Amino acid sequence: MKNIWTIARRDFRNYFTSPIAYIVIAGFLGIMGWMFFFNLAHFNEQNMQYQQYNMGKAISITDGIVRPLFGNMNVIFLFLIPFITMRLFAEEKKSQTIQLLMTSPVTLTDIIVGKFLSAFLLISVMLGMTLVYPVVLFATGNPDIGPIITSYIGTLLLASCLLSVGVLFSSMTENQIVAGALTFAGGLFLWLISWASQAAGPVWGDLLLYLSLINHYASFGLGILNTSDLIFYFSFIFSGLFLTHRVLESYRWR
């Protein structure tokens, strides 16, 4: 565990020795801040119209702000995570430091998990900065805390799945641009694969729907922790890291 933490801490610091972390964090907070205040203003306008015209029950904060906000957040992570993961192994390969790392007194598992953890920590920091939004909602209204907590958990798990995809593709090439492009393409495919389920047969349709990353997030947005969704996400992350281990193991024996 000490070796994992040492690698994670080193790579986490490396994010901030280049402009990548600052650009990603600034872009993320800028877009999320605009979306939050836009959703908040739109929510207030809708509720005023409901009250003015007696249109029945007003929209809840969960449906009007929380769920759209986290839905947009997940889309943003789909675009930003390739920038976070593209250099994890690709840069090591390009600079030839991967050979020193793999011959050091640490296991290959420690290296992979440590690098994944460094990216996970950066994502966690970014999510932690968005805690100001629930604070604003609680200061100005009375939102349900359950959907907020589960949405954070679901977003963190969904982002971790995309990170595992990024780690895998970064281990396959020494070109960071190629690694980032493959990560985005792979994440987008796993995101939109549920669309193909509508045209597939009943068996293939169910399989494609099950493999869709965003399909398993739906229950989190409703405030529900579904065991099957948790198992899927953790299994997906493990599979991505396991395949990365296989790729690097084959690289070691070349």
Q: What is the mean pLDDT of the chain?
A: 85
Read off the pLDDT band of 201 (50, 70, 90): low
Evaluate whether 216 touches 232 at the Cβ level (below 8 Å). Answer: yes
* pLDDT at site 41: 81
Predicted pLDDT at 195: 72
Q: What per-residue confidence (pLDDT) applies to 250? A: 80
What pLDDT, on a 0 to 100 scale, did the predictor assign at position 254? 58
| More confident site: 207 or 57 | 207
In this prediction, residue 48 carries a pLDDT of 73
Q: Residues 49-54: what's their mean pLDDT?
A: 65
Instruction: Give the pLDDT mean for 174-178.
Output: 88
Q: What is the pLDDT of residue 63?
A: 79
Structural contact between residues 123 and 77, judged by C-beta atoms closer than 8 angstroms: yes
Confidence of residue 21 (pLDDT cuts 50, 70, 90): confident
Q: Which two tokens stand for residue 121?
A: 């920590």
Over residues 140-164, the mean pLDDT reads 91
- 31-40, 56-65, 121-130: least confident range: 56-65
pLDDT tens, residue by residue, 204-252: 767 777 888 888 898 898 888 889 999 999 999 999 999 998 988 886 6
Band (pLDDT 50/70/90 cuts) for residue 58 is: low
Model-level pTM? 0.89
